[in-house]
A and B are shown apart, each in its own frame.
Chain A
Amino acid sequence: EAGVTQSPTHLIKTRGQQATLRCSPISGHTSVYWYQQALGLGLQFLLWYDEGEERNRGNFPPRFSGRQFPNYSSELNVNALELEDSALYLCASVGLAEETQYFGPGTRLLVL
C-alpha cells in the first residue's frame, strides 16, 4: 500500500511570491493535516481538512490556506512568501474513525 506522497520535494521561491504544495493521502484516508517544521523547531500544526472541508487551523496567518479535493488529496498555498516561511512542510493523513497520523516525506520550501 502506497504511503502519503507529497510534491514537489523541493521548492525555491523569492520573497513575495506564492507557493503551492500538494499532498496525496493514503488510499482510503479522508483526513489531511498540514504541519510546518522550521529549522530548529518542532512540528507546528497548520491546517486540518476532513471530507473536503477545512475543519481547523493553527496559529498561522491567513496567507496560509489550502483546500481538499473530492479524491481527498490536498493543496497548501502560501501567499506573499516571507523569508521565515522557509521550512519543511509535512502533511499527514488519517483514516476514518482512526487516530494515527501517517506522514509524507515533506516539501522543503526555501524562500530567498
Chain B
Amino acid sequence: GESVGLHLPTLSVQEGDNSIINCAYSNSASDYFIWYKQESGKGPQFIIDIRSNMDKRQGQRVTVLLNKTVKHLSLQIAATQPGDSAVYFCAERPSGGGADGLTFGKGTHLIIQP
C-alpha cells in the first residue's frame, strides 16, 4: 500500500548546527504535506506545511523542501537548540480533501547534543 517513510530513525546533531530530516513518500497523488514535532508525552505539534504546487517554504528557523520528481520531502532546522529534541513526523494528505486523514511516517528522533 501507499506509505510515507523516513530514511533515518535517529539523527544526532550538535547544538547550533543545522539539521536535515528526510522523508520519502510514495503516493504521487498527495497534494499536501506537513511536518510535525512530537515531544515525549505530548501530541504532535504543527511545524510547517507545503502544498504540492510549491517546492520550498520557509518559516522561523525551518524550511521544507518538496521534490516531486523523486517524491522526497525534507525539513531543515537552522541553528538547532536543545528544545528541538523530539520526534519529527512527516505526513501526507492523499488527494480527496482530507477524507482519508493524514498518512504518517514512523518518525525520526532528533537528538541535540550540547
Chain A positions near chain B (C-beta within 8 angstroms): 4, 6, 31, 33, 35, 41-46, 48, 55-56, 58, 90, 94, 99-106
The total number of A-B Cβ pairs within 8 Å is 59
Q: Which residue of B lies closest to A33 (CB)?
A: B101
Question: Is B44's CB within 8 Å of the partner chain A?
Answer: yes
Q: How far is the CB of A40 from chain B (nearest CB, A)?
A: 8
**Chain A interface secondary structure, helix, strand, loop or mixed?**
strand
Q: Are A102 and B98 in contact (CB under 8 A)?
A: no
A-B contacts, 8 listed (Cβ < 8 Å): A42-B107, A45-B101, A46-B101, A90-B44, A99-B32, A101-B34, A103-B44, A103-B45
* A residues less than 8 Å from B49 (CB atoms): 99-100
Seed contacts A35-B102, A58-B100; 14 additional CB < 8 Å A-B pairs: A4-B43, A33-B98, A33-B101, A35-B104, A43-B89, A43-B91, A99-B32, A99-B98, A100-B49, A101-B34, A101-B46, A103-B43, A105-B43, A106-B43
Chain B positions near chain A (C-beta within 8 angstroms): 32, 34, 36, 42-46, 49, 89, 91, 93, 98-107
Q: Which residue of A lies closest to B44 (CB)?
A: A103
Q: Are B44 and A43 in contact (CB under 8 A)?
A: yes
* B residues less than 8 Å from A4 (CB atoms): 43
Q: Are A45 and B100 in contact (CB under 8 A)?
A: yes
* Complex Cα gap A76–B42 (Å): 19
Q: Which residue of B lies closest to A59 (CB)?
A: B1
Q: How far is the CB of A42 from chain B (nearest CB, A)?
A: 4
- Tell me which of B46, B101, B105, B107 contacts A100 (CB under 8 A): B46
* B residues less than 8 Å from A33 (CB atoms): 98, 101-102
* A residues less than 8 Å from B91 (CB atoms): 43
* Complex Cα gap A70–B83 (Å): 38
* Complex Cα gap A44–B93 (Å): 13
Q: Are A99 and B102 in contact (CB under 8 A)?
A: no
